[in-house]
């Protein structure tokens, strides 16, 4: 009996799918690009952010070193002690250098590390640099600088004290308004603006008005730079407690060459003007 014929039928249609391998490759590419952008961003950030990011991966809960903590809005939240206060000083100087009209301001801003903390001095000139002459009203330069400082200092756990100082020239035609009121009003004007611009409500520990009792240049009581606002970033001890505040006279160096309340404890460390 003859065998039945074998019929071969070819099916026509689309080729088989290639699978999802391309999706895996694309996901790897996107991940690599994201990692590249993160590295480039970290390379251009401040040292404090780099330390904070590294601290987070070492201690995600933020309980070991208070670096990279899980507090809201604390991207640069780190503890300022006597050991790292110079880092904050350098960071603030860099930020001020980026401001407009720096050429007119650099000689009127001094930063000094003292026994109380980082003292930031905003020195007035004859025509007024940060405040209108004889007034507690901040001008444009004063507002711009204080807003920047508030944004930077508001990211720290350290508390801040604010001082107002005047020269020895008395008011000529005012009986009920003296240098005491002016120095206090200027310090409070700085406090209000800074708390509106970044400082926490409980971050300011003291607002002090000294009138002409703590002259920066005692040998020249009418020197315009005696009129100034001082912002002191106070130390935190190793256990997170704030160091006891000092008066400007207590924070002076024992060195005879010190002429102002912001003199450094180290006689070899002069007051720093922005360059």
- Residue 275 domain-assigned? no
Which of the two residues, 225 and 66, has the higher pLDDT score? 225
CATH number of the structural domain spanning residue 205? 3.30.1330.60
Residues 62 and 169 in one domain: no
Closest to 92 measured CA to CA, from 158, 42, 170: 158
Q: Which of 41-45, 111-115, 130-134, 220-224 has the lowest mean pLDDT?
A: 41-45
Residues 160 and 190 in one domain: yes
Residues 93 and 104 in one domain: yes
Residues 37 and 171 in one domain: no
Residue 20 has pLDDT above 70, yes or no: yes
* Residues comprising the chain, all counted: 275
Tens digit of each residue's pLDDT (9 = 90 or more) over 214-261: 999 999 999 999 999 999 999 876 544 554 455 555 554 433 333 333
Tokens of 4: 């039945």
Residues 65 and 137 in one domain: no
- pLDDT at res. 90: 86
What is the pTM for the complete model shown? 0.60
- Write down which residue in 41, 60, 78 finishes a domain: 78
Task: Label residue 164 by pLDDT band (50, 70, 90).
Answer: very high
Strands 204-209 and 272-273: unpaired
Residues 72 and 83 in one domain: no
| Residues spanned by the domain of 226 | 79-269
Q: Which of 26-35, 191-200, 263-272 has the lowest mean pLDDT?
A: 263-272
- pLDDT at res. 104: 67
- Write down which residue in 47, 78, 109 finishes a domain: 78
Residues 164 and 72 in one domain: no
The H or E element spanning position 204 is strand 204-209
> Average pLDDT of 138-144?
90
Distance of alpha carbon 211 from the chain centroid: 27
Task: Label residue 71 by pLDDT band (50, 70, 90).
Answer: very low
Residues 260 and 131 in one domain: yes
């Amino acid at each position: 009996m003859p065998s039945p014929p074998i019929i071969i039928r070819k099916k026509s249609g689309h080729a088989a799918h290639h699978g999802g391998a391309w999706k895996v490759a694309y996901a790897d590419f996107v991940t690599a690009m994201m990692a590249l952008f993160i590295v480039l961003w970290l390379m251009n950030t401040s040292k404090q952010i780099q330390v904070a990011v590294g601290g987070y991966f070492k201690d995600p809960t933020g309980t070991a070193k208070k670096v990279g903590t899980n507090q809201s809005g604390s991207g640069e939240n780190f503890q300022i002690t006597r050991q790292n206060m110079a880092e904050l000083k350098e960071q603030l100087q860099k930020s001020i250098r980026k401001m407009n009209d720096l050429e007119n301001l650099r000689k009127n801003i001094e930063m000094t590390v003292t026994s109380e903390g980082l003292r930031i001095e905003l020195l007035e000139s004859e025509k007024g640099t940060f405040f209108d002459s004889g007034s507690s009203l901040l001008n444009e330069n004063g507002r711009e600088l204080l807003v920047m400082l508030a944004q930077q200092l508001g990211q720290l756990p350290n508390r801040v004290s604010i001082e107002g100082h005047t020269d020895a020239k008395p008011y000529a035609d005012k009986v009920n308004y003296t240098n005491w009121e002016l120095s206090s009003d200027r310090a409070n004007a700085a406090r209000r603006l800074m708390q509106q611009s970044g400082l926490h409500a409980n971050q300011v520990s003291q607002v002090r008005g000294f009138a002409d009792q703590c002259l920066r240049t005692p040998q020249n009581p009418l020197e315009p730079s005696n009129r100034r606002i001082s912002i002191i970033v106070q130390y935190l001890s190793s256990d997170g407690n704030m160091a006891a505040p000092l008066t400007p006279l207590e924070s002076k160096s024992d060195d005879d060459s010190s002429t102002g309340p912001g003199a450094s404890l180290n006689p070899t460390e002069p007051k720093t003007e922005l360059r």
